[in-house]
Amino acid sequence: MPAKRACQKEKSDSVFGQARKSSKMFRAGLYARVSTNDQQTLPMQLRALREYVDRRGWTVALQVREIGSGAAKRQARENLLEAARRREIDVVLVWRLDRWGRSVSDLFATLQELDHLGVSFVSLTEALDLTTPAGRAMAGLLAIFAEFEREILRERTRAGLAQARLNGKRLGRPETAAQHATEIRKLHRFGISKSEIARRLQIGRTSVRRILGAKS
């Protein structure tokens, strides 16, 4: 009978298969984010995050919520990172990894910064817990995927530039109207209208008028 009670206690002290850390009272920063069209899940995320904090015996030091598209700058997330830099929190808690990172590279970069600050990270859905050895091992895999993602982007960029060259497109910074000044004046002396000059050189008519109005 005592052995059974000990077994039940051991189960109650585990979270996602990992032993609860009772040696330190972590100050948790909660981050919940939803898209503009999915705001109804925000209370659910926060409730799950708070329940997890209670099970781990931590305290909520900061709670941040954000609404917006994935491509937009995540100012609320930046505020949470600022709190981590000020050592006001010990662990960041999120509902799902895609709620936190815009890409694998972005996710890995922020996790790396948190690690350097001595701040842990937990994602509930993926059971990613960087307060444990197993979680830190999983984070190592993110570095591999992040580099893979960067290499894919670099390869796509190189392929796009090569295709543009084949199509005869000029690469680099676009030419300014001032660089066409000599040609603009030459065409104008030949009786070409300002509108036609702008069309041929693919510049604005205002730029043509400004160059012709300036002293040579």
Instruction: Write out the two tokens for 132.
Output: 């444990």
Contact (Cβ atoms closer than 8 angstroms) between residue 194 and residue 206? no
Instruction: Write the DSSP symbol of residue 33.
Output: E
What DSSP character marks residue 89? -
Separation between Cα atoms, residue 108 and residue 105, nearest integer Å: 5
Residues pairing with 62 in the sheet = 29
User: Does the annotation count 35 as an active-site position?
Assistant: yes
Tell me phi and psi for residue 36, to 5 degrees.
Answer: -60, -35
Alpha helices per DSSP H over 63-202: 75-85, 97-100, 104-117, 133-166, 181-189, 194-201
DSSP 8-state class, residue 95? S
Based on DSSP, count helices (H) and strands (E) in the chain, helices before strands.
9, 7
Catalytic residue among 14, 35, 193, 195: 35
Burial 189-207 (b: 16+ CB within 10 A, else e): eeeeebeebbeebebeeeb
Q: Which tokens sit at 191?
A: 């009786």
Catalytic residue annotation? 35
